[in-house]
């Protein structure tokens, strides 16, 4: 049994905790893996004996980030990413809790595989790992998984990951069972028949590049279908990744009817547009595809006004053999755990979205959605927190990537804002100075 970490006192930081509406200069006191006090008056309780004291003046203390969409390779694709390597990347990015997708080999579609992920995470991961389970067996879209048994095993959400359930009758039955167990249905809406062999956003740029396009309707039509089914069944429904101005309008309108409706957006679709593909750069082949600049701006506006509830990295590792191909043959997806916060801080530095709102969508927002006691600095909670220098400039180079795969959409990107220390259950799992040394 491991020893409890040494008590920790972080003094003089700007404490930003959207879960409590706090933005003030103060102190955090950590004892026995939990937060004893955190705020302007925390030092009234005194410092614990033998505590490590950190002078955090000029830095911001945030709850550890919660990333609700992370693809890994383990089991079956460990050459792309293991649970351990994903956790190292997460720690470096300030992400202290991850929800892993079921797109593994074998698929996380029964209790035994879910328990394997949880056990491996306990043994090897630096951060908290929560596995999502598949909606359908083998992600085949034909037979529902055992939702009740998986919930009893500790699964927090159900999704077919990169896949969209095509059969509305099956999806209705899934939603009905999910409602009965108060389980969250997270669904990526991409109609495979409409998308066809498309590899990027349909439009003028796709024509110029000579690449087949994916129409907006491939996202919007299944989204509207899902929302009608969610209203019919009364389940908790989460649109996993929207990317279009029209999708944001659909979600905005339906939120008036469905209080339990939520939506997510990937950091890629807040930061990039179809023009970034340039000369067939395969690291920018994503699903959904990168859209027009107008759509990106609409995603930012929807995040700011609360239409979109959470930001995800959609971390999706692929090795060089899968990415360094002709654009139309390359796998979709990019890694993102390490760049999630720096890329999101671009919205803050450009005055597009307030800092508190950004932090909310990266911490307490996904925590509440998944029913986790994370993403908060409230006394009594697990001491998952990060120290951030909001103004520190840095370049994200390939040499710095901790993920096993290097398929980042932010290679050599210049960022302002950096995680200096990541703490999970009171223990430091990443420190910038030590890592660089």
CA distance 409 to 390: 21
pLDDT of residue 435: 61
pLDDT confidence tier of residue 1, bands split at 50, 70 and 90: very low
- Give the residue-averaged pLDDT of 289-296: 98
pLDDT of residue 46: 84
pLDDT in tens, 60-72: 999 999 999 999 9
pLDDT of residue 430: 98
Q: Decide if 183 contacts 158 (C-beta within 8 A).
A: yes
Residue whose C-alpha is closest to residue 414's, from 392, 385, 437: 392
- Give the residue-averaged pLDDT of 365-388: 97
Domains of the chain: 8-62+381-392+413-436 (2.30.40.10), 64-370 (3.20.20.140)
pTM of this prediction exceeds 0.85: yes
Q: Decide if 185 contacts 236 (C-beta within 8 A).
A: yes
The pair of three-digit structure tokens given for residue 181, joined into one six-digit string: 């167990």
The pair of three-digit structure tokens given for residue 382, joined into one six-digit string: 């697990």
Give the count of beta carbons closer than 10 Å to the beta carbon of residue 57: 9
pLDDT in tens, 15-49: 999 999 999 999 999 999 999 999 999 888 889 99
pLDDT of residue 2: 59
pLDDT of residue 437: 41
pLDDT of residue 5: 86
pLDDT of residue 436: 54
Q: Decide if 130 contacts 345 (C-beta within 8 A).
A: no
pLDDT in tens, 239-254: 999 999 999 999 999 9
pLDDT of residue 45: 81
- Give the residue-averaged pLDDT of 171-190: 97
- Give the residue-averaged pLDDT of 184-189: 98
Mean pLDDT of the chain: 96
pLDDT confidence tier of residue 264, bands split at 50, 70 and 90: very high
pLDDT tops 70 at residue 388: yes
Residue whose C-alpha is closest to residue 87's, from 346, 356, 384, 287: 384
Q: Residues of the chain with pLDDT > 70: what percent? A: 98
pLDDT of residue 176: 98
Reading phi first (left if > 0) and then psi (alpha if -120 to 50, else beta), residue 67 is in: beta
pLDDT confidence tier of residue 411, bands split at 50, 70 and 90: very high
- Give the residue-averaged pLDDT of 86-103: 98
pLDDT in tens, 102-155: 999 999 999 999 999 999 999 999 999 999 999 999 999 999 999 999 999 999
CA distance 342 to 36: 29
pLDDT of residue 4: 74
Q: Residues of the chain with pLDDT > 90: what percent? A: 95
pLDDT of residue 434: 63
pLDDT tops 90 at residue 237: yes
Give the count of beta carbons closer than 10 Å to the beta carbon of residue 218: 24
């Amino acid at each position: 049994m491991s020893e409890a970490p040494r008590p920790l006192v972080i003094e003089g930081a700007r404490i930003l905790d959207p879960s409590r509406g706090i933005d003030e200069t103060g102190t955090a006191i950590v004892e026995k893996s939990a937060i004893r006090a955190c705020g302007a008056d925390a030092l009234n309780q005194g410092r614990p004996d033998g505590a490590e004291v950190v002078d955090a003046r000029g830095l911001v203390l945030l709850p550890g980030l919660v990333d609700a969409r992370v693809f890994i390779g383990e089991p079956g694709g460990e050459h792309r990413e293991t649970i351990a390597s994903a956790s190292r990347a997460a720690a470096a990015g300030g992400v202290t809790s991850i929800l892993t997708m079921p797109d593994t080999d074998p698929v996380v579609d029964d209790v035994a595989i879910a328990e394997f992920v949880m056990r491996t995470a306990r043994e090897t991961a630096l951060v908290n790992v929560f596995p999502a389970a598949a909606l359908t067996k083998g992600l085949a879209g034909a037979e529902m998984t055992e939702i009740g048994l998986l919930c009893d095993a500790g699964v927090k959400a159900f999704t077919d990951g990169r896949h969209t359930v095509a059969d509305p009758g099956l999806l209705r039955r899934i939603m009905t069972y999910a409602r009965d167990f108060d389980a969250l249905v997270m669904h990526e809406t991409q109609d495979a028949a409409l998308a066809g062999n498309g590899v990027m956003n349909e439009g003028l740029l796709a024509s110029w590049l000579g690449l087949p396009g994916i129409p907006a309707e491939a996202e919007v039509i299944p989204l509207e279908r899902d929302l009608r089914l969610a209203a019919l069944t009364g389940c908790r429904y989460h649109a996993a990744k929207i990317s279009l101005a029209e999708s944001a309008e659909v979600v905005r309108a339906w939120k008036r009817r469905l209080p339990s409706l939520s939506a997510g957006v990937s950091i890629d679709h807040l930061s990039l547009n179809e023009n970034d593909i340039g000369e067939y750069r395969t690291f920018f082949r994503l699903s959904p595809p990168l859209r027009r600049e107008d759509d990106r701006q609409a995603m930012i506006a929807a995040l700011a006004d609360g239409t979109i509830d959470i930001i995800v990295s959609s971390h999706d590792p692929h090795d060089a053999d899968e990415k360094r191909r002709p654009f139309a043959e390359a796998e979709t997806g990019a890694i993102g755990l390490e760049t999630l916060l720096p890329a999101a801080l671009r919205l803050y530095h450009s005055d597009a979205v307030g800092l508190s709102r950004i932090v909310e969508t990266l911490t307490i927002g996904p925590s509440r959605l998944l029913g986790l006691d994370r993403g908060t600095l409230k006394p009594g909670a697990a001491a998952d927190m990060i120290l951030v220098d909001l103004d520190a400039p840095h370049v994200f180079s390939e040499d710095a990537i901790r993920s096993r795969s290097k398929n980042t959409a932010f290679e050599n990107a210049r960022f302002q804002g950096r995680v200096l220390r990541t703490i999970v259950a009171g223990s430091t799992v990443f420190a910038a100075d030590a890592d660089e040394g």
